[in-house]
Chains A and B, each alone.
Chain A
């Protein structure tokens, strides 16, 4: 009875139809990256030439390098500030300004990118007039990306912090650890898997962003999405399909590998905890 709906013909066809809807654009991108015709719409024959083209395209390659650097830095900052924010919100109980901190951490999750972009840009322009810096470039895009990243990292880390057994931290405290030691030796290893997920998530968010980068970029900081966006506005370009295919393959391998790894790490951790309890009892 309980599973009747899920196993009905209607249920299955609904699932399949929606998955087709979700995957058709991705399949199209990949298929047309091997299409001989410049028009990405009619199939004329198999070719690798768009991959060769893309690999010689300085604009695309430079954009890729900038985007990778930016995403790495943004993810690092996001995880650091996300850990602070999550830790304070979960472990510090009630304090003055808690509500403010929570809503400031929550707001960028849903705030439209144009608003984030425009407000940061206006602030940076005002700062520049006042102090003479910062010049617009990778650093200013980094601020915008790290802000969004901090919010997402906070969500991921909070849900992990809530899961872990408080008694482990209390035990360390009872055994004479200082608060910082408790955090460094007990809490941090326990939330390590969440930190990795948060890093990957915020890396992709930065690697993906067009709008914030468009507002905050300066000369010499044209990210890959900005290059792709300006070309996509003009029409279809098969080199983009080639780049897309490479990204899709790398990301899919990454996502599958990391979820397998996390599944295994989680199982190992549970086993270790169970062993420790068993030893303690005997």
Chain B
């Protein structure tokens, strides 16, 4: 093959077309892929006295690469980490399940409401979502405290005689998580439910299916995309949630983001924190790939 001179090749590379592609490419690469590669790099290092050790070493014309897998091995040995990963997965799964149980009928009834009401109901779902997440979680502290609104209310009504301890338990944590993530479940569900053709349900009923059977065999499969998108939109962030466990969870509630936070800010062990991060990413990689495929609104990867 004949070698081309460099100028035309450069000119072809720097077209307006490529420049327009280059801008978002460089911006996103610098802030997503590059930092993650660095985290992977640091997770294989170890902590020197004040800084992170270098993975490669050049001396006497010899390049030495040193990978320290100690952090990962330690993750496997210390049951605290394992238990925390499991417990985070469990809380995320429970949150997703409860959001689905509460959110599916909710989205369904909104989508069946008369058209003029629908817009207003949707706006009512969105409105809390726009007001500070942090403040809404903080509000649950006043609601669930021993002398809080819920306990006082129940005692006032004579349902209970003495306050139930709810704050800083897995109950308050779950309530907070479901509360915070419910809109993320409802919106994709609504988007698929509203497109549901009512004639399909009528046809099923005409053919003798009971309402339950119609729901299970027609409605649910037709809204599969929304169910999957909504569940992932809840599950993935819930798995890595920090603020809610910190404000509403118990002192011993195991959530991986809290462990990560402590490892980073209190223990100052960056390689260990990086290893915890990498394993976290590995655990959500499959759900994230699924999300890439299934989310209707954000289907960036394929042509419409």
Contact = CB atoms under 8 A, between A and B. Distances in A.
Contact of B301 (A15, A106, A255): A106
Contact of A26 (B108, B131, B202): B131
B97 interface: no
A230 to B, nearest CB: 11
Nearest to B141: A236
A1 B202 contact: yes
B130 interface: yes
B131 A228 contact: no
Given A88-B21, A107-B288, A154-B300, A112 B257 contact: yes
A55 interface: no
A23 interface: yes
B67 interface: no
Contacts of A97: 21, 25
A1 B214 CA distance: 13
Given A15-B106, A101-B25, A252-B127, A109 B298 contact: yes
Contacts of A12: 109
A204 interface: yes
A41 B130 contact: no
A119 B38 contact: yes
Interface stretch (B55-63, B73-81, B117-125, B220-228): B117-125
Contacts of B297: 155, 159
A79 interface: no
Interface in B20-37: 20-21, 23-25, 27-29, 31-36
Interface in A125-149: 126, 129, 143-144, 147
A171 interface: no
B288 A259 contact: no
B139 interface: yes
Of B139, B147, B152, B304, the most chain A CB neighbours within 10 A belong to B139
Given A25-B143, A119-B39, A147-B31, A41 B149 contact: yes
Nearest to B258: A114
Contacts of B274: 118, 122
B132 A225 contact: yes
A210 interface: yes
Contact of B28 (A2, A6, A29, A150): A150
B93 interface: no
A87 B145 CA distance: 49
Contact of B112 (A2, A107, A254): A2
A88 B125 CA distance: 32
A236 B110 CA distance: 35
Contacts, number: 253
Given A41-B142, A87-B20, A104-B33, A29 B135 contact: yes
B48 to A, nearest CB: 13
B291 interface: yes
Nearest to A154: B300
B190 interface: no
Given A89-B300, A104-B29, A154-B300, A110 B148 contact: no
A266 B25 CA distance: 32
Nearest to A155: B298
Interface of B: 16-17, 20-21, 23-25, 27-29, 31-36, 38-39, 42, 51, 102, 105-106, 108-114, 121, 123-128, 130-136, 138-143, 145, 147-149, 152, 179, 182-183, 198, 201-202, 205, 232-233, 236-237, 239-243, 246-247, 257, 260-261, 264, 270, 273-274, 277, 280-281, 284, 288, 291-292, 295, 297-298, 300-301, 303-304
Interface of A: 1-3, 5-7, 11-12, 14-15, 18-19, 21-26, 28-29, 32, 39-42, 81, 84-85, 87-90, 92-93, 95, 97-115, 118-120, 122-123, 126, 129, 143-144, 147, 150, 154-155, 158-159, 162, 179-180, 204, 207-208, 210-211, 225, 228-229, 232-233, 235-236, 240, 244, 247-248, 251-252, 254-256, 259
